[in-house]
Structure 1
């Protein structure tokens, strides 16, 4: 109902709304009203959380890698003892030490041969896989880097003990007495081509095993994140 032009009654707000033309255009959003957050899936949330955690706690952890190196050294000693005990079957006898194995291979290749080399490679690989797994499981992130850190610990300890043995005598070459890997030959008679090639091969195999072990150690935490934060 609208007021006539000659109607003395005042125009009310209801009359104004009734006479106002209808606008079908959508209302513009209020700039002061906060926008609704975008919808995110469970995968996006998990990726964001893990990315923030990795940025904060990722990287190479030498503290955890030290315990990985201890694990690798202990596993090497145990597995070497098993190989030495089964020497008659694998052709190594009591010479599970890398330098002694290389010398025996040069003197009697038919006795040691390919089986002894494979057994030695398996011992080194499994030992450092265990060490890398422990470091990767403890550090949670950057599993390959934790494996490299385990390998660096082994290299640093081998260099330090080799220097000590060269200065104080071979009786201080602890790694040689333990048949642990890797170690650096410090006697002139040990610097044969076979020993050098064996040491290089051991270094490569141990590095690969440690890196793969570190990556495997991270998988447990990935499963935990999937359960807690969604797939």
Structure 2
């Protein structure tokens, strides 16, 4: 049931939108740090240790906004199961990150460089941060997907094409229109009975001629 509601094309476009926004926000953050003459080397330590809560909160909100936009695009394109298609953006990101780490490990082995050890240390040091960021990303993507799912309905309501409860009224009109359809054959039957006495008269006129 859930597999049939998953739209791969919508998820892919939403995922690309999310990555694009994350790239723009990360670039803007780096430019802001350079402009304020901040010590960029100490920023990862501050983020992992939650030394500056304001910086962590800005990052969490940026992640929420990016995944909300991606989920919105996915839900709007899918037009059904917006929360599910939005959540698939987070799952796609996690799967892509997993295969990227495995690819780095394979390349490191072929080059004789141990890349997995620093990656594992980085993940362990940022475990709490990554968990909270994942919660924000999942919430943003599901909320955005649910919001984007009803875009067409909200557009129709804003343009006045449909009104709340129009479906119920329409169904009632259909039932009302169906009743006269069953009653229409009665007048035709009466017409036939009215026209039937004329037949003998027509025969008499023929005989008289």
Q: Aligning the two structures, in what range does the TM-score lie when normalised by the shorter sequence?
A: 0.5 to 0.7
- Mark the CA change 1:68 to 1:78 in structure 2 (over 3 Å): closer, same or farther: same
Query: Which of 209, 217, 227 is the matching residue for 2:148?
Result: 217
- Contact (CA 8 Å) 2:74, 2:145: kept in 1 or not? yes
User: In structure 2, how many angstroms separate the alpha carbons of the residues matched to 1:69 and 1:76?
Assistant: 11
Per-residue Cα deviation, 1:13-72 (whole angstroms, up to 9, x for no partner):
xxxxxxxxxxxxxxxxxxxxxxxxxxxxxxxxxxxxxxxxxx9xx722222111101100
Between the two proteins, the alignment pairs up a number of residues equal to 155
Q: Specify the SS of the correspondent of 1:141.
A: coil
Q: Deviations over 1:86-141 (max 9, x none)?
A: 2278997547xxxx8542346793xxx11110111011111101100110110111
Instruction: Indicate the residue corresponding to 1:187 in structure 2.
Output: 119
The structure carrying a bigger helix percent of its residues is 2
Task: Work out which of the two has the higher radius of gyration on C-alpha atoms and give 1 or 2.
Answer: 1
Q: Structure 2, unaligned stretches of length 5 or more?
A: 110-115, 165-209
**What is the TM-score when the length of structure 2 is the normalising length?**
0.63
Alpha carbon RMSD of aligned pairs, Å? 3.3
Q: Distance in 2 between matches of 1:185 and 1:229?
A: 59
Match of 2:74 among 135, 160, 171: 135
Unaligned runs of 5+ in 1: 1-54, 171-183
